[in-house]
Structure 1
Amino acid sequence: MKKIFLLFVITVLLVSCGNNDKVVLRDSIGKINKVLVVTKSSDWEGSLGKEIRNSFGELMVGLPQPESMLSVSQVAPNGFGTMMRVSRNILVIGIGDEEKYFVKNNIYAQPQTVIYVYAKDDEGVVKMFKKHEKEIIKTFIQSDIDRTQSLFRKNKLDDTQFKTLQNLGISLTIHDKFNTVDDTGEFLWLRHHLSSGIAKTGSNNILVYSIPLEDETKVSDNIVAVRNRIGKKYIPGSDPEKMYMITEEAYTPFTFDAVIDGKKAYETRGKWEVKNDFMAGPFLNYTVVDKKNNRLVVFEGFTYAPSVNKRAFLFELEAIAKSMKIQ
């Protein structure tokens, strides 16, 4: 009787598995902005590896210390076992029967992005990588943006508590470690006190405000002047009469075209400093052209974390900025 019952249970389990197309995947692992490259060691030590390292190792603009856009590690195909396969970002590259480039998600774990690049010979593989390198970097960074926003949504601050966001008709996915410094109804300043390692004396900061849209052709040219004006008005130093935030005069910020909430925007990266003081750090500014409301919506994040790398802190602010929704 026990044998019959056991056979019945096994049959039910097999049928249930056969009728369920969903496979429960493990949680992916790995730090943000890190990519595991699966390729032969000889390729990694040759021209292909050099091309990948140079591409992923391009320095981020606006940081006081040199930091690459993406960190990278390599494993040979025969070493790409169970533990390696749960990495969050994976690039599989090498020789195949034909030229191929494609992206797949959540193959071995979730969330996970796996990019495949194949060509018929070594020279072709390098060419295929160079052809798609910008798209590859963009895909991995967007994957990490999505992942970061997903984590923040689990502990999201309630937008309704901020007068400025309500008045401006803006929503953002901000995690609940940020505290209010100032919320006037026209200007919002939030601060997250960093609590890990040597950066525990530092902070991540968010500013949100809007200004009238006057001449759309001059928006990008005026970003530095606007942030200096806002810094003098709202971000004082220990002596408000003489000390306030400005754009670092010895470093020219970089401005790029961007899109936020489907709207034209400008992304500016540079360094801030406190006038007549020694405080400084990197900033990330998104100026969004909101034609519907005849205004510019500005999100700025800036970091103060002396003596430590700051890529991860700026990336957190970037993920929050790109969650913006404008009514």
Structure 2
Amino acid sequence: MKKIIVIFSIALFFNSCVGTDKFVLRTSLGKVNKVMVVTKASDWTGDLGTAIRNSFGELVVGLPQPEPMLSVSQIGPNAFGGMMNISRNILIIGEGEKEDFYIKKNVYAQPQTVIYVYGTDDASIIKVFNEYKKEIISAYISSDILMTQNIFKAKQLELSQFKTLQEIGVSFTIPKEYKTVDDTGEFLWLRQHLKSGIAKTGSNNILVYAIPLEEELEVSENIIAVRNRIGKKHIPGSDPETMYMITEEAYTPHTSETFLDGKKAFETRGKWEVKNDFMAGPFINYSVVDKARNRIVVFEGFTYAPSVNKRAFIFELEAIAKSMKIQ
């Protein structure tokens, strides 16, 4: 515990020097949705480690392969230094005189989220972690969303070229790798060809459109019917008469209420497939209630990436969706 306190004290001193000519925080390292846990090996192999792995290991809804919300690795307090403390997402576990929980940004590097969980013994630490686990997971995911959006800002598309976005009056931070498939003024379809690994034959796709708001209480109930109608009209297979995108019938999508651009919205995660064909994959759909213009603005992202994990692809689409601004 003393070693953790020393490390934290050094970090505070180092962080206090940011903005001067003497010290500049290093750039953090690490993949999105990855957390490094700083705790003793005996704790990691015991009940505490099990609690962390079970919570972070909850599966992402709607993916064909089982993938956890957050991947985790463990390092002992003695090894937490040098290049190890510039990981982007860090969870520091320790024993103290009282139970405590707090979040700090950019302690050793930037961007960085460091979360501290303390208890008086193992049972106390587990209690504190379980009490705040939803907030902990949300903090790491939100941080990675923002980091991803900032990366996209540095190479974003010029949105004035898209008729549909101009007509609907909506904007997103979309990286320039996306190319136009269809842009009617009422419906936009963008596609990014994936270039790495087996997924180089696949793609990430973005759909944007708006529909009239008829009954707000029925918005969530109608999401699947709407996306099936749009799929039949705009997303054809190799034979447009008999093949088109639908929601996979064998998997029930999950819809939850959220907010985008300060407006009530519904997030739906599920699986798509092409009717009468073998193409399929995950999708994420945001239906935003825009009362001011009596409409629903829809962003949907879907991935086609055979034989590879898809969490990272869907996460990028989520980051783009959450950059939405409605005029």
Same-fold call, TM cutoff 0.5: yes
Alignment partner of 1:323 is 2:320: no
CA-to-aligned-CA distance 1:129-171 (integer Å, 9 cap, x gap): 0000000000000000000000000001011010000001101
State the match for 1:10 in structure 2: none
- Asked if structure 1 preserves the Cα contact closer than 8 Å seen for 2:236 and 2:244, the reply is yes
Please report the TM-score for the alignment, with normalisation by the length of structure 1: 0.94
Residues 22 and 286 from structure 1, CA distance in 2 versus in 1: closer, same or farther, beyond 3 angstroms? Answer: farther
Distance in 2, matches of 1:18 and 1:47, equals 38
Residues 186-225 of structure 1 mapped to structure 2, 5 A cutoff? 186-225=186-225
Give the superposition deviation at 1:76.
0.7
Measured in 2, the distance between the counterparts of 1:127 and 1:285 equals: 35
State the aligned residue count: 311
Mark the runs of 5 or more structure 2 residues left unpaired by the alignment.
1-16
**Which position in structure 2 is the counterpart of 1:179?**
179
Q: Say whether 1:111 aligns with 2:100.
A: no
Separation in 2, partners of 1:274, 1:152: 30
| Residue number in structure 2 paired with 1:294 | 294
**1:58 maps to what in 2?**
58
| Residues in 1 aligned to 2:18 and 2:68: alpha-carbon distance in whole angstroms | 46
Q: How does 1:1-327 map to 2 (within 5 A)?
A: 20=20, 23-327=23-327
Closer, same or farther in 2 for the Cα pair 1:19/1:33, shift >3 Å?
closer
Deviation at 1:81, TM superposition (A): 1.3
Give 3-state SS (helix, strand or coil) of 1:282's partner.
strand
Runs of 4+ in 1 over 4 A off after TM superposition: none
The alpha-carbon deviation at position 121 of structure 1 amounts to: 1.1
2:317 aligned partner, one-letter code: L
With structure 2 as the length reference, what TM-score do the two structures score? 0.94
Identity %: 71
Deviations 1:155-214 (A, max 9, x none): 010110100000011010000000000000000000000000110000000000000000
Q: Is residue 18–residue 25 contact of structure 2 (8 Å, CA) maintained in 1?
A: no
Offset of residue 231 of structure 1: 0.2
Instruction: Report the Cα offset of residue 19 of structure 1.
Output: 9.8
**AA partner of residue 114 (structure 2):** V
Unaligned runs of 5+ in 1: 1-16
**Residue 290 (structure 1) shift:** 0.4
Whose Rg is larger? 1
Amino acid aligned to 1:300: E
**SS of structure 2 residue aligned to 1:66:** coil
User: 1:7: which partner in 2?
Assistant: none
CA deviation vs aligned residue, 1:275-311 (integer Å, no higher than 9, x gap): 0000000000000000011000000000000000000
